[in-house]
Amino acid sequence: MLVNTDLHIHSCFSMATSKDMVINNIAPEAKLKGLQLVGTGDALHPEWLEIIENSTNYTGDGIYSTDDCDFVLTTEVEGEKKIHHLILIPTIEIARELADKLVSINKNKDGRPRTKMNGAEIMDLAKEYDCLVGPAHAFTPWTGMYKSFDSVYDCYGRKPDFLELGLSADTNMADRIEELHDIPFLSNSDAHSPWPHRLGREFNQIELEDISFSSLQNAIKNNKIKANYGLIPNLGKYHMTACTKCYKLVDPVLAKENKMKCPCGGRIKKGVDYRISEIATWDKPHHPDFRPPYIHLMPLAEIISMVYDKGVTTKMVQTKWRALIDNIGNEIDILIEASLEKIAEVDSNVSPAIEAFRNKNIRISPGGGGKYGQISLDGDIKKREELKQVKSLTLDNF
CATH code: domain of residue 82: 3.20.20.140
Which of 94, 330, 99 lies closest to 213, judged by CA? 94
Q: Are 228 and 186 in contact (CB under 8 A)?
A: yes
Do 323 and 194 belong to one domain?
no
Tell me the whole-structure pTM to 2 decimals: 0.93
Residue 9 half-sphere exposure toward CB, CA atoms < 13 A? 34
Judge whether 383 lies within some domain. Answer: no
Q: Please state, in angstroms and rounded to a whole number, the distance separating the CA atoms of residues 160 and 88.
A: 12
Question: How far apart, in whole angstroms, are the C-alpha atoms of residue 393 and residue 89?
Answer: 46
174 within domain boundaries: yes
Confidence (pLDDT) at 390: 32
Question: What is the rounded CA–CA span in Å between residue 18 and residue 11?
Answer: 8
Q: Select from 324, 296, 294 the least CA-distant residue to 308.
A: 324
Give dist(CA 221, CA 161) in Å, integer. 7
Separation CA 171–CA 296 (nearest Å) = 11
Q: Are residues 191 and 71 in the same domain?
A: yes
Question: Looking at residue 378, what is its pLDDT?
Answer: 61
Domain for residue 339, yes or no?
yes
> Does residue 285 lie within any of the structural domains?
no
What distance in Å separates the CA atoms of residue 93 and residue 101, rounded to the nearest whole number?
13
Q: Same domain for 74 and 173?
A: yes
- Residue 272's SS3 state is helix
**36 and 155 both lie in a single domain:** yes
pLDDT at position 382 is 41
Residue 388 confidence (pLDDT): 46
One domain, residues 313 and 211: no
Domain edge (last residue) among 179, 199, 233: 233
Pair (137, 212) in one structural domain: yes
Whether 375 maps to a domain, the answer reads no
In eight-state DSSP terms, residue 213 is H
* CA geometry: angle 229, 233, 238, nearest 5 deg: 130
Cβ density class 86-121: b for 16+ within 10 Å, e for less: bbbbbbbebbeebbeebebeebeebbbbbbebbbbb
Q: What is the 3-state secondary structure (H, E, C) of 307-362?
A: HHCCCCCCHHHHHHHHHHHHHHCCHHHHHHCCCHHHHHHHCCCHHHHHHHHHCCCC
pLDDT for position 326: 98
Specify whether 341 is located in the same domain as 213.
no
- One-letter amino acid at 203 equals F
Reported in sequence order, the residue ranges of the chain that DSSP labels E, i.e. its strands, are 2-6, 37-39, 57-60, 63-65, 70-78, 84-89, 132-135, 163-164, 185-186, 203-207, 225-230, 242-243, 268-269, 294-296, 363-365, 374-376
Q: Give how many domains the chain has, as a whole number.
A: 2
My answer on whether 203 and 329 are in the same domain is: no
Question: Are residue 49 and residue 154 in the same domain, yes or no?
Answer: yes
Q: Are residues 61 and 206 in the same domain?
A: yes
Residue pair 162/177 in contact by the 8 Å Cβ criterion: no
Cβ 92 vs Cβ 53: under 8 Å: yes
Residues 108 and 206 in one domain: yes
In 3D space, the residue among 318, 15, 279, 282 whose CA is nearest the CA of residue 154 turns out to be 279
Residue 8 lies in a domain: yes
Q: At what angle do helices 300-308 and 315-328 cross, to 10 degrees?
A: 130
Which range of residues forms the domain containing residue 154?
Answer: 2-233
pLDDT digits (tens, 9 = 90+) for 162-193: 999 999 999 999 999 999 999 999 999 999 99
Per-residue CA distances from 41 to 86, 230, 342 (Å)? 9, 19, 36
Phi, psi for residue 64 in degrees, rounded to 5: -115, 120
Q: Pick from 233, 257, 283: which residue ends a domain?
A: 233
In this structure, are 33 and 151 located in the same domain? yes
In a domain, 252, yes or no: no
Residues 6+ apart with CB under 8 A from 192: 9, 10, 14, 16, 17, 18, 21, 198
User: Mean pLDDT by 10-residue block, N- to C-terminus, for the chain (398 residues)?
Assistant: 98 96 97 98 97 97 95 98 98 97 88 96 97 97 96 98 96 98 98 96 98 98 97 92 95 93 94 96 97 95 94 96 98 96 97 90 90 75 40 47
Examine residue 16 and state whether it is found in any structural domain, yes or no. yes
Show which of 233, 268, 287 is a domain's final residue.
233
Q: Give the pLDDT of residue 362.
A: 84
